[in-house]
Structure 1
Amino acid sequence: MPLITIVPIKIAIKTDFFVQMSSQLFKQLQFKTDEIKISIGKKLVKVKIRTVEMTPNEIHFPENLFQLFCLPSQRYKLHAIYKEEMNSLFLGPIIGLVTDFKHKKNEEPYFRSIHNFCEELHQGLTENGGFLYVFSYQDFSDKGYFFESGNWKSATLPLPNVIYNRIHSRRIEFGKEYHLFRSRLTELNIPIFNDRFLSKWEVHEHLIHENHLHSYIPDTNLFTKDNLAVFAEKYETVFIKPVHGSQGRNIFKLKKENSHFVLESSIRKQSEKEEINLSFEEIYPFIKPLLNNRIYIIQQGIPLLTYQDRGMDYRVLCHKNPQDNWVVTSVVARISAEDEFVSNIARGGEIMTPLNALKDSMSISDAKWLIAQMKELAIETALIIERKSSGITGELGIDIGIDQVGKPWLIEVNSKPSKNFEDGQMKIRPSAKAIIQFCTKLASDSTSEMEDS
């Protein structure tokens, strides 16, 4: 796909629909006629082509065409695909990132934990070809925000070729308004990927039926009185986690100590932490009211390798590449904050390169072999989750723990992994590049059904 820069020009007659390009570009794109259709986003417009002496990789657009395509009048670097059977030139991709955020009328929007990542995606697309805007699902097709001169500006923008889902809240995804938005996307034939949050029980059910993964999955069941009794009897440590939880919130850790059990919680702040001592009979009646009628799972606690007596696990980021294969884009060790039993960055954890985190526990060569093993396990997990989940999956954050004998364990799978950390020091990180490539592929795949104008 050649990269083309479209450039706005002023014209006297506003009703003329034409574009200007060099004769070299006309030949390169293999046009058979000087009258074609151009598509940006989901709109197709008939135009005349005027060949003039000019820069070979540019197309000049009159400002009335920018208005018709709902594009702010500025220069864009876009990928170009000419489909001879449709006599249509597709320029893009136009990528919409859907999220939820509050915005006051005369203030710039703030996209919460992904704000900087949105800027990074914009930068990556500006360099590599494409246009990104961010929108709220309630404002779909009416208003979006594009980045210009250091600010996010509001405008009516083109329907996107593809949508990347970064809704922050499970509650919103379960709601009626969001379901109406999803129905509109189906009608418009706009693909959306990372369709929704995955529940911990759903992930467990997807993976546990794969025999070759059994030994990597901690014993897990739904929270009931009987299941809790079995787990408390069987294991030294048990974790109780919300099925729809994230960022290490609302997790309980139950540890056997001599004749009693110690209960810790990630709910309170560090300054308010306290350990509760319970007898076997007291466990269920004490914990049950704390769950607020939410669905929880119980999970076997694995004695994992620590780093300087702090909890440690590994986040392996996996992305789908343009060839439809899963690849690992980054691996980081997550070290828990002192007095925390969860390693999430949102709860004060810190990150480290996996090699540095492992080298105190084993030789460099063993650590490298273990990192390669973690990557293989993550890729296999991603393949299974994608195969068994509805919708399009393009990105997964897979959390892996390493036990005292150096064996990896699958702890969790996240369909909307945090964007606040990675081991890359580059401005456009590997995960942003991977998202851009996947969006470009999905946009290219979905150019068959278009709206004529």
Structure 2
Amino acid sequence: MELEQIPGYPPADPASKRPVLAILTMSDRLLGFRGNRENFADVAKTGRDMGFTVYVLPCKSLNFTEPMLSGYGLNDKTGEWFKGRFPFPDLVYNRIPQREDEMRPKVQQKLRLCQQHPRIKGVFNPSFFNKWELFEWLKKSQATNRYIPSTRKMVSVTGLGRMISKHPYLYLKPVSGKAGKGIMTIRVMEGKTLPYRLRIQQKKKSSTYNCATISKLWSRILRESGGVSYIAQQGIDLALYQERRFDLRALVQKNGSGQWAVSGIGARLAGSRSITTHVPRGGSIEDPEKLLQHAFGPQEARELMSKARSACVQLARQIETASGQSHGEMSMDLGVDVEGGLWFFEANAKPMKFDEPHIRKKSLERIFQYGSYLMRSPKQGKAGGA
């Protein structure tokens, strides 16, 4: 089915005045392309309403010498994806879903060419973040270092022992993990026969192992990690709601002026048997102000929300500056400890969609508000925006 035949779709004209945004992903032999199709559909609909041509572009179809590329558009009436020919993009929205795919040499080369190509005005989210690099970047600035828990690479039993002696509560996280997969915690239970308690996150619950010595603890960790690189991070005693820990999830995006701004902050409440707050691991979506008011009272809750917004913008600016690459959006996990202190835990360069309707609506609009800013601005090669 050709692009011109689809109701509500603009003509497939390379000279069209409408800016063109391509959602970059990987091809799929059976389905045509991979990724969150519901999310892509929302992006396509919002873009069309805001004057953009939007289509899904499998990485293998990205040809830098052709004016028209093979991709997938959304049929307005049926909500189904169709294959067609689309104009070469002005903007590339990187939604390659898997880190392993993004690291392929051919994919890396195409992402580099996107950033260098004179016709492409901007690349949203040039790559996934690496947890260790994130913390290294944020330590470089005094403004952001204060939000960072003590973090070390986990490379030896000796190093783990030193970390435990300073912080008897630790989180162990895979450097390239996502959605809470592979997370473990260690607590030292003084005076116990088996003082080292290791909890391992599974699908929606956790399992616990108690060890007598650090060497036995280390052996168990190695077995569970399966050779994947991990970081060890100071555990934070988070504020609780009904005996369950919670954290804040913020979406930070560039706006129509090219400035970092908070599109919204939600909260995630841990499942009763989970060590993470991630929804796929048993967590639930909550109103952040309700949880903070429960823990700290109305006035301090308002102050904490304001501090969180300010911190998110500082963190986004520093991540972008230190990475040396221009970004358009990122989500962040922040924790509030029992004393009201704010902590940064994680950032994601390709945010999952927020289920809160007000955040979702703004998040979609901001993609194209920032896209419009890029269209009228000089091309940004490296870190740009404020």
Q: Could you tell me how far apart the structure 1 residues matched to 2:129 and 2:379 are?
A: 29
Q: Could you tell me how far apart the structure 2 residues matched to 1:290 and 1:330 are?
A: 35
Other structure's SS at 1:157 match = strand
Other structure's SS at 1:274 match = strand
**1:296-344 CA-partner distances (Å, limit 9, x unpaired):** 1110000001222222100111001121211100100111122011111
**1:265-284 CA-partner distances (Å, limit 9, x unpaired):** 12x3346x421111233222
Q: Is the 8 A contact 1:77 1:130 kept in 2?
A: no
In the alignment, which residue of structure 1 is the partner of 2:149?
218
**1:252-291 CA-partner distances (Å, limit 9, x unpaired):** 111111231111112x3346x4211112332222212332
Amino acid at match of 2:196: F
Q: Could you tell me how far apart the structure 1 residues matched to 2:244 and 2:318 are?
A: 31
Q: Could you tell me how far apart the structure 2 residues matched to 1:333 and 1:199 are?
A: 23
CA distance 1:350–1:281, shift in 2 (3 Å): same
Q: Is the 8 A contact 1:71 1:158 kept in 2?
A: no
In the alignment, which residue of structure 1 is the partner of 2:384?
none
Q: 2:20 aligns with which of 94, 117, 139?
A: 94
Q: Could you tell me how far apart the structure 2 residues matched to 1:247 and 1:269 are?
A: 11
The answer to whether structure 1 residue 227 and structure 2 residue 162 are counterparts is: no
Q: How does 1:52-451 map to 2 (within 5 A)?
A: 75=8, 91-100=17-26, 102-104=28-30, 111-112=34-35, 114-141=36-63, 142-148=69-75, 149=77, 150-186=79-115, 188-189=117-118, 190=120, 191-225=122-156, 226-258=158-190, 259=192, 260-266=195-201, 268-270=202-204, 273-279=206-212, 280-419=214-353, 421-425=354-358, 429-445=361-377
Q: How many residues align?
A: 363
Residue 94 of structure 1 and its aligned partner are, at CA, apart by 0.6
Q: Is the 8 A contact 2:144 2:318 kept in 1?
A: no
**1:181-240 CA-partner distances (Å, limit 9, x unpaired):** 224425633232200001111110111121233332100011022221111122221111
Q: Which runs of 4+ in 1 moved over 6 A?
A: none
Q: Could you tell me how far apart the structure 2 residues matched to 1:440 and 1:324 are?
A: 9
Residue 180 of structure 1 and its aligned partner are, at CA, apart by 3.2
Residue 356 of structure 1 and its aligned partner are, at CA, apart by 1.3
Residue 443 of structure 1 and its aligned partner are, at CA, apart by 3.0
Q: Is the 8 A contact 1:216 1:409 kept in 2?
A: yes
Q: Is the 8 A contact 2:189 2:197 kept in 1?
A: yes
Residue 352 of structure 1 and its aligned partner are, at CA, apart by 1.2
Q: Could you tell me how far apart the structure 1 residues matched to 2:297 and 2:174 are?
A: 37
Amino acid at match of 1:274: S
Residue 135 of structure 1 and its aligned partner are, at CA, apart by 1.8
**Identical amino acids, percent of aligned pairs:** 25
Other structure's SS at 1:290 match = helix
Q: Could you tell me how far apart the structure 2 residues matched to 1:447 and 1:223 are?
A: 40
Other structure's SS at 1:92 match = coil
RMSD: 2.5
**1:30-59 CA-partner distances (Å, limit 9, x unpaired):** xxxxxxxxxxxxxxxxxxxxxxxxxxxxxx
Q: Is the 8 A contact 1:335 1:352 kept in 2?
A: yes
Q: Is the 8 A contact 2:27 2:60 kept in 1?
A: no
In the alignment, which residue of structure 1 is the partner of 2:66?
none
CA distance 1:184–1:384, shift in 2 (3 Å): closer
CA distance 1:187–1:395, shift in 2 (3 Å): closer
**1:86-143 CA-partner distances (Å, limit 9, x unpaired):** xxx8612110001235352xx6x5744x322211112212222111101211222442
Q: Is the 8 A contact 2:73 2:81 kept in 1?
A: yes
CA distance 1:398–1:274, shift in 2 (3 Å): closer
Amino acid at match of 1:297: I
Q: Could you tell me how far apart the structure 1 residues matched to 2:116 and 2:204 are?
A: 48
Amino acid at match of 2:94: N
Residue 71 of structure 1 and its aligned partner are, at CA, apart by 5.9
Q: Could you tell me how far apart the structure 2 residues matched to 1:295 and 1:425 are?
A: 37
Amino acid at match of 1:328: V
Q: Is the 8 A contact 2:23 2:92 kept in 1?
A: yes
Structure 2 spans left out of the alignment, 5+ residues: 64-68, 381-386
CA distance 1:126–1:362, shift in 2 (3 Å): same
Other structure's SS at 2:334 match = strand
CA distance 1:300–1:187, shift in 2 (3 Å): closer
Instruction: Return the TM-score normalized by structure 1.
Output: 0.75
